[in-house]
Amino acid sequence: MFPERLRALRRGKGITLKQLAKALNRNLAKGESKNTESQIGNWERGERNPNYLEVKKLADYFDVSMDYLVGRYNNDQVDLAKAMITTSKLTYNDTPLDNNDKYEILQLVSGYLHARGRRSTGDLLNIDHQETLDLFDNHNGF
């Protein structure tokens, strides 16, 4: 599982083995040995296994969990509703989403899926408040 995930992450980022080795070597701790492209190639082919520190560096670089890298967590499917209600900080194109943003996005997705006929009205998110519609513009005398 690890070799396939590492290869997919690297290729998904569009980098070579050499570029990945260079990136991993940027912040070496004292006494830590450099990573090489051949070493990473061995990991991707399943011929060798990285140690804990190497897996941690890879997880940090690719911004995934160590559990995902080693196959303990399948990141192929994420429930958007669950992701939105977690306390995890979510971003969109590096822009942080606050709770109001998350709520509005969930409402848009829910409405879209309902309109597409994928969900029954009973499956829509419950709205716990009533919106008011001010039909009269008091400033213009209407």
Residue 100 lies in domain: 80-123
Closest alpha carbon to 70 in 4, 139, 24: 4
Residue 75 and residue 62 in contact, taking contact as beta carbons nearer than 8 Å = no
Q: What integer pLDDT is reported at residue 57 of this predicted model?
A: 93
In a domain, 27, yes or no: yes
Q: How far apart, in whole angstroms, are the C-alpha atoms of residue 126 and residue 128? A: 6
Task: Kindly report the CATH number assigned to the domain that includes residue 44.
Answer: 1.10.260.40
CA gap 77, 98 in Å, rounded: 23
Tell me how far apart the alpha carbons of residues 59 and 38 are, in angstroms, rounded to a whole number. Answer: 19
pTM over 0.85: no
Burial 77-87 (b: 16+ CB within 10 A, else e): eeeeeeebeee
In a domain, 91, yes or no: yes
Residue 56 lies in a domain: yes
* Contact (CB, 8 A) for 106 and 125: yes
Q: Are residues 49 and 100 in the same domain?
A: no
Residue 84 lies in a domain: yes
pLDDT, residue 87, reads 67
24 and 56 share a domain? Answer: yes
- pLDDT at position 133 is 44
**Structural domains of the chain, count:** 2
**pLDDT (tens place) for every residue of the chain, 142 residues total:** 899 999 999 999 899 999 999 999 998 888 888 999 999 999 999 999 999 999 999 999 998 888 888 887 665 677 777 777 776 788 888 888 888 888 888 888 888 888 887 654 444 445 455 545 444 555 554 4
Within a domain: 133: no
Return the pLDDT at 37. Answer: 95
